Structures are given as C-alpha cells and as structure tokens.
Amino acid sequence: MTELNEEGLRNAIHNLPQHKAGDYVWEEIRWQLEKPLVAELPVHTAPAGAWNGIAAAASVSRLSTSARLTLATGFILLMASLFFIPFGNNENPVNKRNLPRQKGGNQAIIQEPVTVSPVSADGKDASTFITEDESNSGNENPDKSSGFSESPDNLPSTPNSILTENRTMIISAMLPKSSGNFENPVSDITGSIRARNDNPYECSSFYRIPPSFFLKADYEPEYFSNKMLTPPGQNFSLSAGYQFKRLRLALGAGYNHINGNTQLDYSYRRNELIYSYDYVDSVYVDPISHETYYFTVKVDVYDSIDHTSTQKIVDRYSYMQFPLTLSYKVAEFRKFSVHLQGFSVYHFFRENIRKYDAFYEASSRLVSSSIDGQRLTSDYWTAGAGLMLEYRAGERFGIDIAPRLKYNFMEVTGSSEKKTGSFGLSFGLYYKLIPD
C-alpha cells in the first residue's frame, strides 16, 4: 500500500506546473488516513493595501463652495440685466405705418417732380420760413408752417408711376430756409415725391433701426476627435446680447461636462485544479478467498495561476464656461435668416468624478493594478466658427440651429496631444427685450 501511495504522489508532483523563482504553491495537500482526503479550495480576499493606488487616483469631490458662489454670481448678473435694460419701444411712430406690399418685392424709388403754389391763410403768407438767426441757432421749432394742396390729376404721369388714384394729396411740413430737396420758395416750391418701400431697412431717412437687447438659452452636444473622451459632451449656457442692424454680440455663462474613459488593469492569481489521482486509503484481504480489496479516495491538486483583466473607468469632468459670440446676418428670406458665427469660450475646471467597480474574483488574490494616466486636470479655451439658421416665431421670440466646428486647446495629462478638434450642433431659443 505504501508503494502504491508513493507512486500516486510522484505522479501528482510530476503533473504540477513548473514555477519560476519566487513563485509558490498556496495549498498544501494534507494527508489523513482516518477519513477520506479532500483538498479544500481556499478563498482569498484582496488585501486592503492593494486599493491604495486606485483610491488615490480617483479623486471624487462634490461641488465646492466657490463653485456655488460662481453660479450664484452669474445668476444675479443675468437677473439684474432685466431691471437695468429698458423695455420701452424707442421707435419713431412713422415706422408703425402698415403699408401694402408691392408685387415683385421691393419697388424702386420713383421720383415725380411737383410744382405747387403757396397757399395764403388770413392774409398772411403761409410759406414764411424761419429766419437766418433761427436757422443758425439750431432752432427747429418754428411757429409757422407751410401747407400745400394739389390733386394728382395735375401731376405728370410716367409708365412706372404708382400715383394713379384720384385723390387729394396734402403736403404739410415744417420747412427751414433750405430743407432737403426743396429749394428756397419765392413763388413756387419744387420738390419730389418718393414711393414708400415696404422694406424697413431700405426706406426713407425718417426710419432709424433701434438697437435691440435679447436673452438666449443654448444647448449643444459635442463630439471630440480624441478617443479618450466619450461622446457626446454636454453644453448648457445662458447669454445676454446686443443686436444692431446685422451684427449681434452676446456674452454668457454656462455649464459643460465631458465624459472620459480610461483603463484599469488587474494582475491576480486564482486557484485552479491541476491534477487528480486516487489515494489508497486502506487494503483488505479476504481470509477465505484470499482476495485483496483496495479502498481509495480521489485527491484533487490545486495551484495558483496568473491572470490579468481590464476594466473601464468612467471619468466625468465638469467645467464652468463663459462663451463670447459674434454673428453677422448674411441673408434673409421671410422669417428665416442665415448668420455667420464666430465664438470663443473659456472653460474653468471644477471637478472630476471617477466611477469604477471594485475588484472581485472568486478564489483569487490581487497581485497588482495599473491605471491609464490620461485625464483632464486644468482649464482650457475653445475657438471656432459656425453657420446659424434662425427662424423668427414672432416680434420677440425666435429659435435657431447652428452646426459649429471647434478647436479646443486642452491639455491631457499622460498624452502628447495638446489640441483637440470637435464638432457641435447648437440649439438656441432667444427672447428680445425690445422687439424689431
């Protein structure tokens, strides 16, 4: 029996894997003759010190007091602008005249010569003008006016003339000594009649486009060229702007967060079954038949095998952003308009939240771990351009969409890349404090 057990033990040792210097076998085979032999499978938990490196690399923080103060300050400034920006309408009442639209779009300006005689009232010359002293002193409120009446039937007509209705035309004006297209009235006044243009940007000099103030909210998903950054990034901002004719300038504040992914590599050892053999526990010889009976048990031999695994770590980077946008309207059709847009954004780094799952492998022991060092740790700024399509839903409200190309000057720790390109699609909603 001893020889049989020794032979089985030699076979078990022969089938064990060859370990290098420094390796060791965790389990020991305990030989027991009183009861069946079973090699137990120990369960090893990861030592507490193995997570120190990972815990130090994963800096998890909440929104700090300074971040709250920054958000509160930006909100107060935006709310204060509602009280200091005037809401009144500064337009000239002449601009509110509802004029019929002519066929064919904007009509050309038609000039018709008119010769009108002055009309006297109460024995006084109604065409009396302000004196030379009043003209030089800038007095534009003379107490005498000129009134003229003429029928369009007496006016010469041209094929392009739009004055075709038979109605009396009244001309009443406050005329200085030399006023516009009118000459010094001695006997007659020679002037001109202009056709009203339905386009407010091209009408007479009486029309003046007032500046406009507006508030705007934007949302923009962003897609980066750097593979370390998981698309899409999220951008939210509130802006206050100023519009004059075709130009718009807006400054705002907002929030930006970017998702990143890195790798965490584990090296661990796991107990695995290497070899099994039969162990002779006892021998019985029948005294009558002289037959020999061998009683055996099955012995399992385990060893520690090296393994590696990779886990993804999700990083969430949070920024405060301050965008400055300049746009110029290049085309307009009905309620739609197209704008060229240039912008620059500065991003203040706030925090980095890192999420990962704890290491767990049954019947294993963690040997080492390594983490990819690429991450965002500092502020960065962005410059770019885009093409914006706007739809005016009313005098005050409007929506827009703008595809934009960006160039981000961001520094990635652990990477040689210092600049990252990105593409964004911005959706905006604005409200004009002073309508057009």
pLDDT of 105: 46
pLDDT of 19: 53
Cα–Cα distance measured from residue 84 to residue 104, given in angstroms and rounded to the nearest whole number: 43
Contact 422, 222 (CB under 8 A): yes
pLDDT band at 163 (very low <50, low <70, confident <90, very high): very low
CA distances from residue 316 to 46, 53, 262, 283, 353 in whole angstroms, order as listed: 27, 20, 11, 69, 5
- Residue 136, phi then psi, degrees to nearest 5: -70, -30
Cα–Cα distance measured from residue 378 to residue 351, given in angstroms and rounded to the nearest whole number: 10
Contact 332, 246 (CB under 8 A): no
pLDDT band at 96 (very low <50, low <70, confident <90, very high): very low
**Which is more confidently placed, 428 or 71?**
428
Coil/strand/helix, residue 93: helix
pLDDT band at 132 (very low <50, low <70, confident <90, very high): low
Residue 176 reports pLDDT greater than 80:
no
**Which is more confidently placed, 87 or 411?**
411
pLDDT of 347: 95
Contact 215, 430 (CB under 8 A): yes
Range with the largest mean pLDDT of 85-89, 195-199, 319-323: 319-323
- Which of 256, 216, 233 shows the shortest CA–CA distance to 339? 216
Which element (helix H / strand E) includes 134? Answer: helix 132-136
Q: How many residues are listed for the chain in this entry?
A: 436
Summarize the confidence of residues 422-433 as an average pLDDT. Answer: 93
Cα–Cα distance measured from residue 58 to residue 192, given in angstroms and rounded to the nearest whole number: 80
| Mean pLDDT value across the chain | 70
Cα–Cα distance measured from residue 265 to residue 273, given in angstroms and rounded to the nearest whole number: 25
Total Cβ atoms within 10 A of residue 190? 12
pLDDT band at 21 (very low <50, low <70, confident <90, very high): very low
Q: Which two tokens stand for residue 297?
A: 């048990």
Strand partners, 400: 390, 428
Question: What digits encode the pLDDT tens for the residues 270-284?
Answer: 888 888 888 888 888
**Furthest CA-CA distance within the chain:** 167
Residue 235 CB-density burial (10 A; 0-12 exposed, 13-18 middle, 19+ buried): buried
Question: What digits encode the pLDDT tens for the residues 190-240?
Answer: 444 444 555 554 454 555 667 788 999 999 999 998 888 888 899 999 999
Question: What digits encode the pLDDT tens for the residues 136-160?
Answer: 544 444 444 444 444 444 545 544 4
Hey, which bits of 286-409 come out as E strands? 292-333, 336-355, 364-371, 375-376, 380-392, 397-409
Task: Map out the domains of the chain with their CATH numbers.
Answer: 51-87+211-267+307-432 (2.40.160.20)
Radius of gyration of the chain from Cα atoms?
A: 45
pLDDT band at 305 (very low <50, low <70, confident <90, very high): confident
DSSP string, 272-286: EEEEEEEEEEEEEE-
pLDDT of 400: 95
Residue 158 CB-density burial (10 A; 0-12 exposed, 13-18 middle, 19+ buried): exposed
Cα–Cα distance measured from residue 407 to residue 387, given in angstroms and rounded to the nearest whole number: 16
Give first-to-last CA distance, the chain, whole Å. Answer: 108
Cα–Cα distance measured from residue 379 to residue 377, given in angstroms and rounded to the nearest whole number: 7
Question: What digits encode the pLDDT tens for the residues 346-379?
Answer: 999 998 888 878 787 777 888 888 887 778 888 9
Summarize the confidence of residues 78-92 as an average pLDDT. Answer: 53
Q: Which two tokens stand for residue 216?
A: 């705007």
